[in-house]
Amino acid sequence: MISPKRLIIEYEDGSRKVTEFTQLDNQTWLELSRSGLCPPPPKKTLDHYVLMRWKDGWQEVVGISKMTAELWRYYTLERTEEVGRMAFDVAEDYPLLFLVKRLPRQIESLFLVGRKGSKGYTLEEKRAVKEGDKIEHILYDKKDSSPCERAEGWVAEIKEQLKAEMKKKGLTSEQLLSLDDHQKLQAYFDFAKALGIRGMEKQEDVYGFIQLMAENLLASKE
C-alpha cells in the first residue's frame, strides 16, 4: 500500500480540515490502520520491554530502547500522594527511570524481555525509610536480591499464554511474524486484549512486546 500523505476531515457543510499524516501521533495512526484506511506506521521493535503485573491482575508494558537493561531498584515515594520509581541499570552513567502512578506499591511482578532472553522479578516491601515529610518504600534492590521461583513461573506462564492464543488462530511464531502488516497488527491487538496487556505510555509498546516475544519463541523453536 502507498504511504499516506494527508488526513482530510470533511464536515456536513462542506468545509474541510487537513493535517499531514506525519503530524499524527502513533496511537491515532495505529487506529486508522486497524480500520483499513492506511498501512501501519513505521515500526521499530525496541531491545527490551517491561511487563508489570499488579495484585489486582492489571498489566501494563513499557519499552526500553537500550541494548542492556536490568532492574536495579524499585521503590515508592509517599508524600501527599505516592509515586513508584522503577530504575534500570542500562550500562550508562545513570540508571533509566520510569515513574509508576497506578497503585505503585501494588505491583507484584515485573517481566523483562529482551532479544537475549527474559527475566522475572518479584516485588515485595523490604523496608520503609521515613525522612521528613516523605516515606520511601523499597520493594526491590539489586544489592539484596536473589532468584525467585515465583517470578520465573510467571515468565513461563506468559509464554504459554501467548502460545495458546497463537494456536487458537492456527499460527506458529514463524507464521505470525510472516503475516503482512495489517494482519499482524490485528493479531497483536487480539493477543493484547486476550492477555490483558495495556501500554503504560503508548500502545505501540504492547505490539512491540508481543513481536519480541514471538521472535524469541521462534529463536528458541518453541
> In whole angstroms, what is the distance from residue 65 CA to residue 204 CA?
13
pLDDT reported for residue 209 = 95
Query: What are the E-state strand segments in 55-106?
Result: 59-64, 70-78, 82-89, 96-100
Supply the pTM of this predicted model: 0.80
pLDDT reported for residue 118 = 85
Integer Rg of the chain from CA: 20
pLDDT reported for residue 180 = 86
Q: Where are the domains of the chain?
A: 1-42, 48-222
pLDDT reported for residue 200 = 96
pLDDT reported for residue 41 = 63
pLDDT reported for residue 162 = 94
Mean pLDDT per 10-residue section of the chain, whose length is 222 residues: 73 79 68 70 83 96 94 94 96 95 95 88 92 93 78 83 95 92 89 96 92 90 72
> In whole angstroms, what is the distance from residue 150 CA to residue 147 CA?
9
pLDDT reported for residue 173 = 93
DSSP string for residues in 149-190? HHHHHHHHHHHHHHHHHHHHTT--HHHHHTS-HHHHHHHHHH
